[in-house]
């Protein structure tokens, strides 16, 4: 039976990572009941427990978004517990090898596309179906600046351009149905994949990468979370199919 509370519900996939964790907290601080979903169930549980310790309503879900049955089970479970889904941040993603296309290993291609593109598609498909039934909802996908431009990593770039296309196609299809669909496109962020890159890069390479961002620094997970929350708010009610760069000016160069 669905919970009696009328508080809105938000789903965050990849919720145990840096951007996901910050966004789950931002939703919770604005009164949402938050489902923190991640393939790493223990890490998702730790995030949910941290939010509950702060007085927020949160739960964790272990899910592989590349598995259709797992995605359906996740959303069916949320429907049974809450009866509504007001916002979804499809944030889960996999990094890839930084190699050009001709040197790409096919297994890396299949692994990354399964999570980033197929996984995002599956989440969107079943989130949209539910939101159409209830007549409202906001979806934000994590796209990346490489979904607008490009990078040496052929797999990652292709997967993110695919997410950009899914975002715009779905936004066109459902704009008149009460369902808004947009994406954030982070640049270098000092959390999650970005933080791991900076750790591996070394001082010189890290500095040169940061220098590509006119703001002169890496962004924070909280700055991405703020953009997600805005795209899920009434303040952005006329925004559909937008790829919102959160990149310190990287794409304006």
pLDDT tens-place string over residues 73-82: 999 999 999 9
User: Is 156 a residue of the active site?
Assistant: yes
Instruction: Please indicate, yes or no, if residue 19 is contained in any of the structural domains.
Output: yes
Number of neighbours of residue 107 by Cβ within 10 angstroms: 8
Instruction: Please indicate, yes or no, if residue 198 is contained in any of the structural domains.
Output: no
Instruction: Please indicate, yes or no, if residue 140 is contained in any of the structural domains.
Output: yes
pLDDT tens by residue, 120-162:
999 999 999 999 999 999 999 999 999 999 888 899 999 999 9
What pLDDT was estimated at residue 206?
Answer: 82
What pLDDT was estimated at residue 198?
Answer: 80
4-8, 34-38, 195-199: the lowest-pLDDT one: 195-199
What pLDDT was estimated at residue 204?
Answer: 78
| Axis crossing angle, helix 41-53 with helix 18-29, rounded to the nearest 10 | 30
* Residue span of the structural domain in which 31 resides: 9-189+221-248
Main-chain dihedrals φ then ψ at residue 17, nearest 5 degrees? -80, 180
Instruction: Please indicate, yes or no, if residue 231 is contained in any of the structural domains.
Output: yes
Given pLDDT bands bounded at 50, 70 and 90, which one contains residue 5?
confident
Going from the C-alpha of 226 to that of each of 137, 164, 165, 166, 196, the distances in angstroms are 18, 20, 23, 22, 22
Distance CA 173, CA 198 (A): 39
DSSP state of 39: S
* Residue 242 CB contacts under 8 Å (≥ 6 apart), including other chains: 171, 182, 183, 231
Instruction: Please indicate, yes or no, if residue 115 is contained in any of the structural domains.
Output: yes
* 26-51 as b/e: b if 16+ CB within 10 A: bbbeeebbbbbbbbeeebbbbbbebb
For residues 228-246, average pLDDT: 98
92-96, 127-131, 190-194: the lowest-pLDDT one: 190-194
Instruction: Please indicate, yes or no, if residue 194 is contained in any of the structural domains.
Output: no
What is the pTM for the complete model shown? 0.94
pLDDT at 1 over 50: no
Beta strands, E only, 91-241: 137-142, 179-186
Q: Comparing C-alpha atoms, which of 68, 186, 41, 179 is closest to residue 123?
A: 68
Total domain count, the chain: 1
Q: Domain containing 243 — which CATH number? A: 3.40.50.720
Distance CA 151, CA 79 (A): 39
Instruction: Please indicate, yes or no, if residue 215 is contained in any of the structural domains.
Output: no
Q: Residue 194: is it exposed, middle or buried by C-beta count within 10 angstroms (0-12/13-18/19+)?
A: buried
Number of neighbours of residue 5 by Cβ within 10 angstroms: 12
Instruction: Please indicate, yes or no, if residue 205 is contained in any of the structural domains.
Output: no
Q: State the catalytic residue, choosing from 32, 126, 156, 174.
A: 156
């Amino acid at each position: 039976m669905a919970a009696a509370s009328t508080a809105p519900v938000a789903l965050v996939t990849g919720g145990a990572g840096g951007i996901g964790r910050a966004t789950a907290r931002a939703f919770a601080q604005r009164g949402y009941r938050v489902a923190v979903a991640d393939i790493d169930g223990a890490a998702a549980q730790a995030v949910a427990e941290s939010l509950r310790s702060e007085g927020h309503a949160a739960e964790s879900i272990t899910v592989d978004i590349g598995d259709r049955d797992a995605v359906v089970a996740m959303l069916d479970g949320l429907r049974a517990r809450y009866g509504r889904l007001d916002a979804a941040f499809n944030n889960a993603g996999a990094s890839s090898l930084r190699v050009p296309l001709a040197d790409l290993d096919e297994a890396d291609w299949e692994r990354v596309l399964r999570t980033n593109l197929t996984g995002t598609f599956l989440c969107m498909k079943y989130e949209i179906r539910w939101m159409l039934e209830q007549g409202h909802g906001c979806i934000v996908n994590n796209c990346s600046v490489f979904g607008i431009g490009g990078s040496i990593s052929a797999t990652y770039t292709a997967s993110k351009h695919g997410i950009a296309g899914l975002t715009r196609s779905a936004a066109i299809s459902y704009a008149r149905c009460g369902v808004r669909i947009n994406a954030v496109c982070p640049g270098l962020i000092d959390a999650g994949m970005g933080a791991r890159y900076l750790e591996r890069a070394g001082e010189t390479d890290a500095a040169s990468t940061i220098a590509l961002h006119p703001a002169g620094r890496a962004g924070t997970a909280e700055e991405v979370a703020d953009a997600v929350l805005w795209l899920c708010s009434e303040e952005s009610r006329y925004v559909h199919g937008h790829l919102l760069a959160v990149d310190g000016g990287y794409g304006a160069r």
